Structures are given as structure tokens and as C-alpha cells.
Structure 1
Amino acid sequence: MFALIQSLWQQKKLIAGTTAAVGALALGYAFLAPSVYQASTVLRPAAINELDALNRSEVYKLPPTDALLKVGSALDSYETRLNYFEAHQELFKPLEKKGISLEQSFEIFNRDAINLTQPDPKKPDSLSPFIKLELTYPDNVDGVKILNGFVEYAINNQRAQIGADLKVIINNRLRELEEKIDAARSGYKSDKEGKIATLVESDTLQRAKLNDELKALRLQLKTERESRIAQLSEAISIARSLGITRPTTPSAMSDAAQGSSRVMRTEITSQSIPLYFMGTQALEAERTALLKRTSDDFTDKGISDIGKKLHMLEVNRQVEMLGKRANEDLFLKNIEPLRAEVVRLGNLNTDMGKLGLVSIDRKAQTPISPIKPKKALIIALGLVLGCLLGIAIASTRYLISRRRPMP
């Protein structure tokens, strides 16, 4: 071992030269190798007041953590990255290489250069959830502009998506409310038509009953008139046979037969005097009048009452007013809340251009130094490896010289 160390010391120039050569190679690589930089941005949930207007709309609920997850999903989406690349191809031009198309370069860049980090929900090591997006890029690419632009593009994309979803939900709600109002109109129309039909049917029924009652009453009066005529005819026949021409009484006829005309009698009887005592003159006059009568309506007050009722039934004012309603919506029941909701939904602001979905806790900044290559480490490793290589060469020379035969 002592001899080996002595040999290495004797070959110190060889070791130093090897170390210097390898160190020079490492130094050249450190300064000639392309620099690789890394930029990062951190997103955190937005403040509650940023999403308060959206959540208070009672149409779309979006807590801050859910908004952060939506943006994170967009940032991790290949479609979003591809759309951003297609919209900003000038930023990715430096990635284009000979034999590789720009799209292929983007595929490599997307697979190896972009890294999305989220906290593990099972290990809450942060006071609030966050999303960290890192971008590794060569020195000929404006990575800071790409990263900040991509974050802004993803946020705007989600804003537009939320605005579109909000419009669809509002339109669906409005369509549902209009259907309920139309159903209320249809129900009201059916109720009104049913009410009109009921009133008309009731009037028709009552009119038919009154007409039947009127016919029956007229028939009754006619029958009574005919019966009276028959009674008068019979009484006239009896009065003629008795020679009674003027009204008289049985007592008066008895006195006339006895020839006493000075006696005045008062007659009280519980029986009605037969009709023929009225005399032929009165009876014939009444019969003639009855025979000439064309209508018996005036003889009974009930007929005028029925006529009055029939006249009142000719026009139903309630049916008339129901048919003359111009604005039937004024009479719809339980639709005021629906109308108020339609007005509220119509006044909702669906412009999500200023909606704060996330809070950009740290924007991407131009890095001070590249992450690759690490010049100091490479040079140090080069010197160490050069020294080890020199020692290995010197040790090999020493071992070879020991095996040579002595002269």
C-alpha cells in the first residue's frame, strides 16, 4: 500500500492532467449544454364574495373549492391544452425540429414538460387546497408567457362554460315556468268553460221547468174556464126552466109565489146558493164573456211571476261577463310566484366575464437560473471523476510495472 501511494505520488502529474482534462470536458459540457428552465404558478380558491352573486342566484351553485377543481380539470385536460396550442402556435414555434412536426413537438412537450400538482386530500398539509402547475422549457421558449397565458386561457374557458351552462339552466327554468303558467291558463279556461256550461245548463233546466209550469198552469186555467162554461150552461138551463132571469134567492122566490111583497126577510144559511139563482141574464153574460176569452193568463198572478222569471233567464249576466273578460291572466290563481320567478330569472346577469373562479396566488415569473444543467455540480463531478480516472490509470500502471520481470 505504501508503495502504491508512493507510485501515485510519483504520477501526480498524470493524475492532475487526467483530472484537468475530464474537468475541462465537464466545464465545456456545462457551458455548451442547452439550458432548461422551470416556471410554476399556484392557484388557490377564490374569495367567497367573488362567487356570491352566482351562488345567490339559486340557479347555479359553485363553492370556491369546486371552482378550483373545475379550473384544475381544465388545466389537466388534453383538449384544453391542445386548443391553447392551436390558438397560440407562435409561442411553440421554437419547439419545431427537423424531422418532427410542430404537433409532434407539442405532444412531447405536453407529456414531459407540464406537471400538475394537487394536495393529497388524505394528507391535509395545507391550510387551503391549491393547484400548482409547473412548466419545464428550453431557453429558446418563452415558458413564462406560455404558462401564464395557459392559466388565463383555462380560466376564461371555464368562465365561458359556466356562462353557457347558466344560460341553459335559466332557459330550462323559464321554459318550465312558462309551461306551468300555460297549464294554469289551460286549467282556468277549462274551469271557466265548465262554469259557463254549468250556468247555461242550470238556466236551460230552470227555463224548461218554468215553461212546463206555465203550460200546466195555462192548461189548468183553460180547464177551469171550460168547467165554468159547462156549469154556467147547466145553470142557465135550470134558470130558464124556473123562469129566473135576474139574481134572486130561495126566500125571495117563496115570497113571490105567496104574493107577499111587504115582508122583508133576513136569510142566514151555511150552504151556498145554487148558481142558477143568478138568473139567465147574468149567467149568459158570464158565459158569453168566457167563450170570447182568448187567454186566461191575466186571471192568475202566477203566470206573470213565471213570465218575469223567464225574462230574467233570457240573459245570464254572469255568463256574459265571463265571456267578455279581455285579460284572463288577471284571474289566474297561484301564478304570481311563477311570474315573479320569470322576471327574476330574466333579470339575472349571465355574463361571466368578470367571475373570479380562482385566486392566482403566485404567477409564473422568469426564473433566475436554469434547473439544467447544474454547472457547479457537473464541474465538481467532472473533477472528481477525472481524479478517480487518473488514480485508476496510475494504479494500473503501477500494477503492470510490478508484474514485469526484473532484468
Structure 2
Amino acid sequence: MFHAIWKQKKRVIGCTILAGLLGVGYAFLAPRVYQVSSVLRPAAINELDALNRSDVYRLPPAEALAKVGMQLDSYEARLGFFRANPALFEAFQRPGRSLEQSFEAFNRNAINLMLPDPKKSEPLNSSIRVEMQYPTGIDGVAILNGFVDYAIAQERSQVGADFKVIVNNRLNELKGKIDAARSNYETAKAAKIARLLEDDKVKRARLQDELSALHLQLKMERTSHLAELDEAISIARAVGIRTPTAPSAMGADASGRSSQVMRTVVTNQKLPLYFMGTEVLEAERKALQRRTNDDFTNSRVAEISKELRMLDVNREVEVLNDRKNEDIFLQNVEPLWAEEARLRSLNIDMSTLKLVTVDRQAQEPLNPIKPKGALIIALSVGAGLLLGILLALITHFAQVRRENGPFSVTADRRLPLR
């Protein structure tokens, strides 16, 4: 076989040279494909410290990197970047294609995202690699770096929007709690004023009832006293007592004896009114009959009048109604005010928030990754060599078959026998 191949070495060499020339032609004439890459790593802790210390939005560096990675892998983000930068993608646009179809031609295999392996927890494994392959005539470096910056900006904007929504939700929640406390205070205040006014009303009614009963009592006492005076006057007239006297004096007068002896009578019994004499009793009766008001005869009437006057104005109700700033009287709202003031004072500049660190930006590649000239030439030479050997073997076996055919058997029969 080797001898047969060697006999046809020119054919083998020719096939090898021809295949090699075809490989060289393809290697030099095929369109060049280049590859650029960018590496993202977690941001430093201090870059996200202001956001995390706000107690509103927690975003560890590893989670921020994962969010940016999701943004880089997002169809919407890629389409948005494609729409925002039409000048960079003119080579992908064809007449008769829609924007989405042109984007599909770019997005199909252009950008690849290599995320960290979730099974590995080493810090060195926490990185995202973004690769892009593009043909000649495309500014792949500008596209990849621009897309990375666009994805980071989009995620930063999303974080800012989420932060704002959370802050507004908490402010609304605090406002609701403060409004509830204010409503409770107003309800309690109205209830307290109503209780105070009701108590005053009840007390005023009781004092009015007491005053009316006291007036009736004084009137009845005056009427009773007038009746007693009338009775006493009639008795005094009957016994002839005109001026005040004592029972002992009446005894002396009755006996008709004069005496210069002064008598002292000690008794613990009240003397009947008729001993006052008709003159005094009649004078007292006239005074009682001319009286129009008995209030001065009882000190309780003045006390009731004083208490009624005090009930005309409830100073506590007046003070409650005259409050200017009622929020300072709310209960358990100081922590809510403090939290509201803290949330309103949060001033985190989201435009400078650094979510990730771009460890390596895309750079202009030195050589294309496709086609690989040396490999193509080597493979074409090898394929040509194999093809030449195959043709040489086929030719050799065809020759052997012809030589071992029917004509070769007849020729052997003519040979002399030994």
C-alpha cells in the first residue's frame, strides 16, 4: 500500500496543495469575527453604606451585582439600548426588517453573559463576565461598554425608584398613624367636653331643684310662723300681756303685792311667744306680712346662687376649645414624628450610587477569534493529504482488480507445465 501510494505521490501532493490553497484562501478571505469582554465585580461596602444605613432599602454588594447581571441578561434592557443607540447598530439593520427583527439578528448570539457559579461561595468567584462577538465593521468595544453602562444606569434608576416608593409608602403609613392619633385625640376631647358640660348641666339642675325646694321651705316656714304669731297674739291679748314679760312677773302681778325683790328664773324650756306681748308680736307679724323674699333668712340660698354662677362658664371646656396647636397633646406620636422627619431628611444621591465595579472594560482586540488561520490551513492540508491518499488507494485497488480479472487467468493457462 505504501509503495502504491508512493507511486502516486504527485497526485497525493497535488491534492494536499490544492486543499491547502483552498484553506489559505478561506482563512484570508473569510469574514473576521472579533470578541471583546468586560468583567464586573461587587462594589465596595462603603459605596452602598449610605443606602443600607437608611434602614429603608437593603442592598448588599453581592445582591447589587446579581441585579446588574439580571439587567444585562434582560431582553428589555438590550432592546432599550438598541433603540437608544441606532447609530451603533446600522450594520444589523436591513431594508424590509422591523426594529425588533433587526434586534433579533444582533441579540441572537452577539452578547453572552457568564454568571458566577452559585455552588461556589468563594469571594474570587463573585464576578460577571460579559462577552460579545462581532464581525468587521461593527464597533464592538463601544457597544459592549455602552451596554454595560446602560444596564448599570437602568438598574440604578430602578433602585432609586424602588427607594422612593418605599419611602413614600412609609411616609403615608406614618401619616395614617398620626392622623389616627389626631382623630382619637379629637374624639377624646369632644367626649371630655361633652362629659364636663353634661356634669355641669346635671349639677345646675340639682341646684335649681334645691333652690326651688328651699324657697318653698322658707315660704312654708314664714306661713307657719305667721300662724304661730296670730295664735300668740290672741293668747297675749287674753291674758293682758302687752309688753314682754316673764312667768314669775305675772305671778307677782297676780298676787297684787309689790315687791322690790329681783327674781332670777333659770329654766331650760323655751318660753311661749305670747310672753313677748302683743306689741312685739304684732310688729313682727306686720314685718313678716310685708316680706317679699325669704332668701336672706337662709345662708344656703346664697351658696346655691354662688354655685349656679360658677356653673355659667366651664373654664376647663373653655381652655380645651381655645387650644391653638392641638398636635402637641397627641399621645405616643413623638416616635412617629421623629421617623417622619428622618425619612424626609434622607438625601441619597442615586445618580452617584455605585452598584458594581467595572473591573475590566472592553478593549480593542488584537486578533480575530474567527477564522483561525493556522488551524484552518492545518486542517485543510491534512484533509487534502487524506484525500490524496484515499484517491491513490482507490486507484491502486482498481488497478489490482483489473490485473486479477479474467484476462489474467487465460494468460496463466498458456504457461508450460513443470
* Shared fold per TM-score greater than 0.5: yes
Match of 2:299 in 1: 301
- Aligned residue identity for 1:374: K
Q: What do the CA deviations read for 1:240-295 (whole angstroms, capped 9, x no partner)?
A: 11111111122212212222222322223333222111110000000111111111
- Aligned residue identity for 2:341: V
- Aligned residue identity for 1:205: V
- Please state if 1:394 is matched with 2:413: no
Q: CA RMSD in A?
A: 1.9
Secondary structure of 2:257 counterpart: coil
Alignment partner of 1:223 out of 220, 225, 234 = 220
Secondary structure of 1:42 counterpart: strand
Q: Distance in 2 between matches of 1:250 and 1:225?
A: 27
Match of 1:148 in 2: 145
- Please state if 1:87 is matched with 2:84: yes
Q: What do the CA deviations read for 1:118-154 (whole angstroms, capped 9, x no partner)?
A: 1221244663422221111112111111111111111
CA contact (8 A) 1:95 1:102 kept: no
Q: Distance in 2 between matches of 1:388 and 1:126?
A: 50
Alignment partner of 2:189 out of 174, 189, 192 = 192
Alignment partner of 2:328 out of 323, 327, 330 = 330
Q: What do the CA deviations read for 1:185-242 (whole angstroms, capped 9, x no partner)?
A: 1111111111111111111111111222222222222211111111000000111111
Identity, % of aligned pairs?
Answer: 59
Query: Which range moved further: 328-337 or 24-33?
Result: 328-337
Match of 1:162 in 2: 159
Q: Distance in 2 between matches of 1:98 and 1:26?
A: 34
Name the CA shift for 1:53/1:145 in 2 (closer, same or farther; >3 Å).
Answer: same
Match of 1:260 in 2: 257
Q: Distance in 2 between matches of 1:102 and 1:195?
A: 71
Query: What TM-score, normalized by structure 1, do the two folds share?
Result: 0.94
Name the CA shift for 1:125/1:216 in 2 (closer, same or farther; >3 Å).
Answer: closer
- Aligned residue identity for 2:56: V
In the TM superposition, what is the alpha-carbon distance from 1:78 to its structure 2 partner?
0.9
Q: What do the CA deviations read for 1:47-100 (whole angstroms, capped 9, x no partner)?
A: 111111111111111111211111111111111111111111211111235675
Alignment partner of 2:118 out of 117, 121, 135 = 121
Q: Which runs of 5+ in 2 are unaligned?
A: 412-418
Name the CA shift for 1:102/1:311 in 2 (closer, same or farther; >3 Å).
Answer: closer
CA contact (8 A) 2:92 2:102 kept: yes
Q: Distance in 2 between matches of 1:306 and 1:106?
A: 97
In the TM superposition, what is the alpha-carbon distance from 1:108 to its structure 2 partner?
2.9
Q: Distance in 2 between matches of 1:332 and 1:100?
A: 67
Name the CA shift for 1:102/1:342 in 2 (closer, same or farther; >3 Å).
Answer: closer
Alignment partner of 1:30 out of 19, 27, 30 = 27
- Aligned residue identity for 2:358: I
- Aligned residue identity for 2:173: E
In the TM superposition, what is the alpha-carbon distance from 1:393 to its structure 2 partner?
2.5
Match of 2:313 in 1: 315
- Please state if 1:41 is matched with 2:34: no
Match of 2:367 in 1: 369
Secondary structure of 2:351 counterpart: coil
Q: Distance in 2 between matches of 1:159 and 1:52?
A: 15
Match of 1:9 in 2: 6
Q: Distance in 1 between matches of 2:268 and 2:167?
A: 95
Query: Which range moved further: 304-313 or 385-394?
Result: 385-394
Name the CA shift for 1:101/1:393 in 2 (closer, same or farther; >3 Å).
Answer: farther
- Aligned residue identity for 1:162: V
Match of 2:236 in 1: 239
Q: What do the CA deviations read for 1:271-320 (whole angstroms, capped 9, x no partner)?
A: 32221111100000001111111111111112112222111111111111
Q: Distance in 1 between matches of 2:76 and 2:271?
A: 121
Query: Which range moved further: 181-190 or 248-257?
Result: 248-257
Name the CA shift for 1:5/1:124 in 2 (closer, same or farther; >3 Å).
Answer: same
Alignment partner of 2:275 out of 274, 277, 280 = 277
- Aligned residue identity for 1:249: A
CA contact (8 A) 2:93 2:102 kept: yes
CA contact (8 A) 2:37 2:362 kept: yes
Q: Distance in 2 between matches of 1:102 and 1:169?
A: 36
Match of 2:128 in 1: 131
